[in-house]
Structure 1
Amino acid sequence: MCGHSSGAIGFPLRLLAREVYDRVVRIKGEAQVALITGEERIEPPGARYYCCTAEAMPVQRTHDGGTHSFLALDEAQLGANRERGHIFTDRLLNARGRDETMLLGAATLEPMVRALHPDAEIIKRPRFSTLTHIGPRKLSRLPPRSAIVAFSAEQVYAVAEMLRRFRGGSAVVMGALSPETRNRQVELFQSGEVDYIVATDAIGMGLNLDINHVAFASLTKYDGVRKRRLMPAEMAQIAGRAGRHQRDGTFGTLSGVGKDGGGSGRHDGEPVEFTEEEIHAIEEHRFAPLTRLYWRDSQPRFDSLPVLIGDLESPPENPVLALAPEAIDLAVLKRLAEEPWADQIRGSGNVRRFWEVCRLPDFRQQGADTHSRFVARLWQDLQRGYIGADYAAARISELDNMQGDIHALQGRIAAIRSWAYICQRPDWVLARDEMAARAHAVEAKLSDALHGRLTERFVNRRTAILMKSMGQDASLLAVSLSDEGVLSVEDEPIGAVSGFRFTVDHSASHADRKMLLAAGEKAMPRILSDKVDALIASDMAGVTLEDGGIRWEGQQIASLSAGPSAASARLVPDRQLTQLPDGARAKLVEALEAWLAARMAPLAPLAKLEEASRDPAAGSEARALLLSLIAAHGHMTRQAAGLEHLPKETRPFLRRIGVTFGALDIFATALLKPAPRQLLSKLGADPRPLNSPMIPVIDCSGALPSGYRHAGKQAVRIDIAEKIIRAAHDARGKSARRKFVLDPALAVSTGLTPDSYVYLLGQAGFRRTEGRALAEGASGPPAPDQWEWQPSRGRPSRGKPSGDKSARRPQAGSHRSKDPRATATKPHERTGAPAKKPPRAAPAKPAPNPNSAFAGLADLLR
């Protein structure tokens, strides 16, 4: 066609017309090429080349009013089709080019061409590739790049659903889809995104696809009148999609699939298998020639409706032609001609216009009765002359809805195609170009939405990609890890990597999980090695110490084994690190150990205590005390320490290594700071509650936090409590009287309430006597509270069991001491103050208390 000055080609499908239009535009430019179909019209004023559907092709017209230099009709053998055959027969008989006319079709058309045009030149183009029958194949054994052909929407959907589950999905092509949707689905297959396409027999005409094998899910179809077995020529038309040019193809049947997509493989008693004769005919391209073509008068008279109907039903005079069966347009005409208002349709102009309305295609495929009602309403609207732009815009707007399932979208596409056809007629709609553009835009949006629904339902792109990649070298897989930890293969997520642990995508089906896990594990060594390098390069950013383990990205990557103390805990890599390559694992463990050593610095005082506990020169009693202090994580009460067994000459040694002998507690001051207490909590070594900032005084109504002691309704940090008690003893030492006055400024500055202050000092053996109130009418400051130290009230008598009444705690403010664990040494023994009385002779060493854990530990160390 492009070699002539002008030309036109009629195609059986709008999709094929558009494909060739795009090719001719690339050669001749948009200004010279027109596209005319029932629903779309692109016709530049100077167009010289026309790509059309057979129904819409201009038979004898060009831009200058003459005939086309070249004219062609594709798939001319469709003259034998029951519904559209008369259109192709009319073009075969009447469409002519000025210089050249080409009728393209199957070899079975040759007898008809010779009978109708004896002088026609017959040129045969042999198939360069061969078709080979390979018998039935199960769905799971279909070779890649296969097309499965079915003859009902239900069967198409059933097969596509099975392919989605087992092979990752398929493209879907049916006559009910819009051309745009079919294009998108074909592109899905052609691009290699899926390896299978499920289609009706629409695939056999005009779709040039990269197919290696065609599998028939059925060999019977409903032709509008009855259900019948396909003719060998029809089988070959479909099977011929396999192979291209010099590449051979194969065909066969799909076994194990019934008409509902999952039956026995039989259809109404018919086995889904080719006969020997059919196989031979398809492989050798030998088919029975056509013996007739359907015909209908293409130039009927429009005197009246009965005359028009009579001409359309009149038989042909040529014996090789047969009267076409009643098509949908004639059925609608006959039904509406019986309506009472049809008598008003008079005059050739009105009759011709009415016939053109009746020829509106039934895009909804709902039958003559339903379609005739739509045509009747359209005719009533046209009786006013034109359909108003507002009315057409409103009807188009009603269909501009992308919601719903596949069936709902198909229904809207069929409806919008009807309006696209209506809006193409210049004598039907006002503002034709604008309304046609709107209809086309809505159809495009609906087609995109339908393509999305089909892809969503019938394509599992992830499974399709993995099916192709199974067995490949892991290094060739396009596996990537996003910053959010999503592991993807060619941008399709297959799981997530958290820490160094891979988990399969939770949305994957049970059947897909094993395949996704295998794909992920193939890439894990490389992915995890990269994560190790990135973690070390970031200076271990994001690594935390929690609950006795080392965590990263929400996963525990190492734990800490128990040592003699929390300061000597050893790192134990988690089992998930076994997935790392040996080199990467060694690097990570080394980096974690260095990171842990830096984080353990606040526990250096505890390590110092542990080292001293191993020193034989310390003596068994001091070593036993140190072990008890280490087990208590740096502090314990004097009563629990069992100081009666500790020789006084060992205390200087203990003080030098940071041990403080307080009035109520034995503790290492350095371990009462926030950093070591927080670290002990993170290590899981100290299960007691933690007050993270370790402020001096806190309100405490529940469990006592680590490093604190009770003071009424408050808790005071142990070293602060010692300072307050020491200040009280200093005031007592400066007083020459038994009763003395204390300055509560230090306690108040730490946040202790008066009641908590009395409670704390009561535990240390101090008794308060409230000052006498001023007499009525007297002026001046009130008398201060008087204090005296009564250690016997603060601790139990030696030898008395802990259940003795003298060991019971008094209430805050009582003259009795709150805590029976009072100091066992005099103040001058702690502070170095001169003794007021000569020391008494040392009493005999008491026998060890069998209830003291310290006594048993000391005996063991001896």
Structure 2
Amino acid sequence: MSDSTIKAVLGPTNTGKTHLAIERMCGHSSGMMGFPLRLLAREVYDRVRAIKGDKAVALITGEERIEPPNARYFCCTTEAMDRLGAGKGGPHAFVALDEAQIGADPERGHIFTDRLLNARGREETMILGSATLEPLVRKLVPRAEMVERPRFSTLSHAGSCKLSRLPPRSAVVAFGTDQVYAMAEALRRFRGGAAVVMGALSPETRNKQVELFQNGEVDYIVATDAIGMGLNLDLHHVAFAGLSKFDGKRKRRLTPSEMSQIAGRAGRHQRDGTFGTLSGMRDSRGAPPEFTDEEIYAIEEHRFAPLTHLFWREAEPRFDNLATLIADLEMKPEEPELRPAPEAIDLAILKRLSDDPIADSVKGAGSVRRFWEACSLPDFRSVGAGVHASFVKRLWQDLREGYLGADFVAARIAELDRMQGDIDTLQGRIAAIRTWAYISQRPDWVLARDEMFARARAVEAKLSDALHARLTERFVNRRTSLLMKSLGQDGSALPVELAPDGALTVDGELIGRLDGFRFAVAPDATVADRKMLLAAGEKALPALLAQRA
């Protein structure tokens, strides 16, 4: 493939990099794209399917596999894509890697680095990512042609703002579930509610929460830093509730590049956006979160320190025995731009179980490879190496004998088919069912694979619906949201109806009752809502009473 072109399309958020890659892929006879999130892979899969048809496009992720027999275009998570960008018939004509700068991430970086170094299209390869990646691409992929993409819109600092005075179409970025919930509860009181987006949500729940915001049912969205990747929203402003996060090892301040990735969600396409902080917030030292002048300049001008290294791990280890496998996975890279990846959870599980008596059953290259595949089961439940190792050990006891029985897998899936419980309980069940969806779609792990996978996906869909309902119930007050939007309108323009029994509703939501010429607000209204309900009634009633007269 020496004649194929390699292009590194680098730049800030909102530069149309992914859109360009989709156009290029659809112009080739076949293609494969790797994405950092299942959510993104699914979104692009739907877009390419609309262009090329259902039979020509495949979706490959750790938990989902939709692969028509004659598929020519593959939308994958980076972990699930072929490391060389090839298919059954050899290399695809086009290959692209999205968000390639994740190669600098200690946890997942080695996978992105491997694809950046090895995944190649027969005719064209695209490396998409931040401009901070440019020096490393020049050294590691010297053939690559650099393509800079300017941002379509400007991003400017707007200072700090109270939560109660946030402009409509704003996102609040919080760090930690408790802070997300607190911000969403406050916005429910002040502004009628907010959509909630967290990394722990399933893609289905995340999509439904985003839809609440996109269709205008709520004007605010509260999210963790998961919003910084893969969510294209109609946002005007991003407000940071804090500027520090726990990165798995310690609590640290966000880097300017991380701040920009999140702030860049505002002002998509050719509409300008703003970013700032929430006033009244305090960090662990009691100081308010504030951007420095240097950080503001870096974000507004998209100027960041270049990456100095990427993480690497041997992607094709030997499977002679467990000791050889571990040694290969801990091998150091030869290139000075690469660093050995910190011990990921899959390697931690492998090393822990290699010291367990169960390792005596792992003999022969085929068995070692299968054992490594079991250790690579993602920790969807985020329970840590100790608990996850126990689960993998139990899984291996069945896998070493051949397959997991369909009855056993069906029973585990049925245990999770319960929609009762609060938000945290449902999130826990979704994490667990994602584990069984991953196990069920493996080609050689489960008997009646297709049936078990369909069951797991059906339960995940039901749990996602239930979680979306709980989130909406807790964090959205539809009546308050409607009234907040209508306060500046002419009373005659409000979607108000007066029923024969005196019930006054706005777009189907009860705001009060008319008894003769006396209007009383709905008895379930909060103290904060009473003034708005009275104002809405005073606006609408003159026109309604005139119609009746």
Q: Please, what TM-score do these two structures have when normalized by structure 2?
A: 0.94
Residue by residue over 1:189-220, the C-alpha shift from the partner in whole angstroms, topping out at 9 and shown as x without a partner, is 11111111111111111111111111111111
User: 1:369 and 1:270 mapped to 2: Cα distance?
Assistant: 37
User: 1:22 and 1:331 mapped to 2: Cα distance?
Assistant: 36
2:447 is aligned, of 419, 422, 430, to: 430
1:139-538 aligned at under 5 Å gives the runs 139-257=163-281, 265-482=282-499, 485-530=502-547, 532=548
With over 3 angstroms needed to count, the CA separation of the structure-2 counterparts of 1:486 and 1:390, relative to structure 1, is farther
Give the structure 1 partner of residue 161 of structure 2. Answer: 137
SS at match of 1:438: helix
**Offset at residue 60 of structure 1 (A):** 4.0
SS at match of 1:330: helix
**Offset at residue 59 of structure 1 (A):** 3.5
Residue by residue over 1:341-362, the C-alpha shift from the partner in whole angstroms, topping out at 9 and shown as x without a partner, is 2122111111110111111111
In the alignment, structure 1 residue 51 sits paired with structure 2 residue 75: yes
In the alignment, structure 1 residue 106 sits paired with structure 2 residue 130: yes
**Offset at residue 128 of structure 1 (A):** 2.2
Contact 1:354 1:379 in 2 (8 A): yes
User: 2:388 and 2:516 mapped to 1: Cα distance?
Assistant: 63
User: 1:295 and 1:179 mapped to 2: Cα distance?
Assistant: 28
**Offset at residue 62 of structure 1 (A):** 5.6
**Offset at residue 499 of structure 1 (A):** 4.7
**Offset at residue 340 of structure 1 (A):** 1.2
**Offset at residue 525 of structure 1 (A):** 2.0
SS at match of 1:251: strand
User: 1:102 and 1:94 mapped to 2: Cα distance?
Assistant: 12
Amino acid at match of 1:387: L
Amino acid at match of 1:365: S
Unaligned runs of 5+ in 1: 258-264, 533-583, 585-862
User: 1:484 and 1:423 mapped to 2: Cα distance?
Assistant: 56
**Offset at residue 374 of structure 1 (A):** 1.1
1:60-71 aligned at under 5 Å gives the runs 60=84, 64-71=88-95
User: 2:498 and 2:447 mapped to 1: Cα distance?
Assistant: 57
Contact 1:46 1:63 in 2 (8 A): no
Amino acid at match of 1:292: H
SS at match of 2:80: coil
User: 1:28 and 1:116 mapped to 2: Cα distance?
Assistant: 34
Contact 1:485 1:498 in 2 (8 A): yes
Give the structure 1 partner of residue 56 of structure 2. Answer: 32
Contact 1:209 1:241 in 2 (8 A): yes
Number of residue pairs aligned between Structure 1 and Structure 2: 525
**Aligned-residue identity in percent:** 73
User: 2:499 and 2:405 mapped to 1: Cα distance?
Assistant: 55
With over 3 angstroms needed to count, the CA separation of the structure-2 counterparts of 1:515 and 1:286, relative to structure 1, is same
Give the structure 2 partner of residue 13 of structure 1. Answer: 37
User: 1:15 and 1:500 mapped to 2: Cα distance?
Assistant: 54
Residue by residue over 1:637-676, the C-alpha shift from the partner in whole angstroms, topping out at 9 and shown as x without a partner, is xxxxxxxxxxxxxxxxxxxxxxxxxxxxxxxxxxxxxxxx
**Offset at residue 497 of structure 1 (A):** 3.3
Give the structure 2 partner of residue 116 of structure 1. Answer: 140
Amino acid at match of 1:86: H
Contact 1:409 1:450 in 2 (8 A): yes
Contact 2:32 2:85 in 1 (8 A): no
Contact 1:77 1:106 in 2 (8 A): yes
Q: Which moved more, 1:169-178 or 1:495-504?
A: 495-504
Contact 1:217 1:272 in 2 (8 A): yes
User: 1:229 and 1:102 mapped to 2: Cα distance?
Assistant: 32
Contact 2:234 2:268 in 1 (8 A): yes
With over 3 angstroms needed to count, the CA separation of the structure-2 counterparts of 1:484 and 1:449, relative to structure 1, is farther
User: 2:309 and 2:285 mapped to 1: Cα distance?
Assistant: 30
Residue by residue over 1:140-162, the C-alpha shift from the partner in whole angstroms, topping out at 9 and shown as x without a partner, is 11111111111101110111110
Residue by residue over 1:133-183, the C-alpha shift from the partner in whole angstroms, topping out at 9 and shown as x without a partner, is 111111011111111111101110111110000011101000000000000
**Offset at residue 498 of structure 1 (A):** 4.3
Residue by residue over 1:791-846, the C-alpha shift from the partner in whole angstroms, topping out at 9 and shown as x without a partner, is xxxxxxxxxxxxxxxxxxxxxxxxxxxxxxxxxxxxxxxxxxxxxxxxxxxxxxxx
Amino acid at match of 1:347: G
**Offset at residue 116 of structure 1 (A):** 0.2
Contact 1:45 1:63 in 2 (8 A): no
Contact 1:79 1:294 in 2 (8 A): yes
Contact 1:218 1:267 in 2 (8 A): no
Give the structure 2 partner of residue 79 of structure 1. Answer: 103
| Moved >6 Å (runs of 4+) | none
Contact 2:228 2:261 in 1 (8 A): yes
**Offset at residue 444 of structure 1 (A):** 0.5
Residue by residue over 1:69-99, the C-alpha shift from the partner in whole angstroms, topping out at 9 and shown as x without a partner, is 0000000000001110001000001101100
With over 3 angstroms needed to count, the CA separation of the structure-2 counterparts of 1:191 and 1:361, relative to structure 1, is same
Amino acid at match of 2:50: R
Amino acid at match of 2:482: I
User: 1:356 and 1:500 mapped to 2: Cα distance?
Assistant: 74
User: 1:364 and 1:183 mapped to 2: Cα distance?
Assistant: 20
Contact 1:329 1:358 in 2 (8 A): yes
With over 3 angstroms needed to count, the CA separation of the structure-2 counterparts of 1:478 and 1:118, relative to structure 1, is same
Contact 1:133 1:251 in 2 (8 A): yes
Q: Please, what TM-score do these two structures have when normalized by structure 1?
A: 0.60
User: 2:93 and 2:523 mapped to 1: Cα distance?
Assistant: 64
With over 3 angstroms needed to count, the CA separation of the structure-2 counterparts of 1:292 and 1:426, relative to structure 1, is same
Contact 2:318 2:324 in 1 (8 A): yes
RMSD: 1.3
Contact 1:60 1:66 in 2 (8 A): no
**Offset at residue 521 of structure 1 (A):** 2.0
SS at match of 1:133: strand
SS at match of 2:90: coil
Give the structure 2 partner of residue 709 of structure 1. Answer: none
User: 2:362 and 2:112 mapped to 1: Cα distance?
Assistant: 30
With over 3 angstroms needed to count, the CA separation of the structure-2 counterparts of 1:67 and 1:270, relative to structure 1, is farther
With over 3 angstroms needed to count, the CA separation of the structure-2 counterparts of 1:162 and 1:388, relative to structure 1, is same
**Offset at residue 483 of structure 1 (A):** 5.1
Give the structure 1 partner of residue 11 of structure 2. Answer: none
Residue by residue over 1:481-521, the C-alpha shift from the partner in whole angstroms, topping out at 9 and shown as x without a partner, is 34554322122221233455432111111111111121122
